[in-house]
Amino acid sequence: MGEPVALSLCICCTIRPPASRCAWWACEFQPGAFRGPWSIFRVDVVSNKARVKAKEAVVSRAAEFFVMSQLIRQGHEVVPTLGGFQGAELLVKTPSGRRLEVVVRGVADSGRWMVNAEDEAAMPDRVYVLLNYKRFDEARSYPMVYVLTADRAQAMKTDKGRGRAIVFGNKKLCPPDLDRHAEAWSVLQ
């Protein structure tokens, strides 16, 4: 088969300088071997905007899997929607049998979580889990986690900036009771 030939880069490589490529198997192509889902990206020249978009996608996916692992550890049955089922990233069945839609938003210290625009105050089975990674690139860093009911999330939404968001990086716009929802996993019981 010969030496591997660099054919394409995974998402991870698009957000790092070329000199520090990751060790993912998807970055190298062995003829006849399965390349994986990341190899669909052919990256020759990447703009800053594309790098930011790629990193946002990686952070969002990492947040979904983080929340999914936490919920499974707590005894919930979790199904990822992988594309958003009516705006929710996870469908959850609690140990007591309650069915929930979980909206997961993860950011790497951007100061705001973009949220669904529709009015969700009357959705008792919808829960928001908001994550803020202070140091996303450090594997040992744990994100700040906030768990809110949909009606509480609706009350925190603001139209300031580009679209509907819950703002935490601006003292004037940050909801005063946001810290009360830190690690409030009991909302999902």
More reliable by pLDDT, 145 or 6: 145
Residues 29 and 106 in one domain: no
Residues 95 and 33 in one domain: no
In this predicted structure, what is the pLDDT of residue 8? 41
More reliable by pLDDT, 44 or 188: 188
Q: Give the pLDDT mean for 36-55.
A: 57
Residues 42 and 59 in one domain: no
Phi-psi region of 117 (alpha: psi -120 to 50; beta: other; left: phi over 0): alpha
| Cα distance between residue 167 and residue 174, in whole Å | 5
| Cα distance between residue 123 and residue 35, in whole Å | 41
Whole-structure pTM value: 0.71
> What confidence tier does 188 reach under pLDDT thresholds 50, 70, 90?
confident
Residues 154 and 96 in one domain: yes
pLDDT above 60 for 73: yes
pLDDT above 50 for 23: no
On the 0-12 / 13-18 / 19+ scale of CB atoms within 10 A, 189 is exposed
Range of the domain at 109: 55-188
H/E element, 153: helix 150-156
Residues 184 and 159 in one domain: yes
**Residues 122-176 pLDDT 10s:** 888 999 999 999 888 888 888 999 999 998 998 888 886 566 888 887 777 788 8
In percent, the amount of the chain with pLDDT more than 70 equals 70
Q: Which tokens belong to 60? A: 């969002």
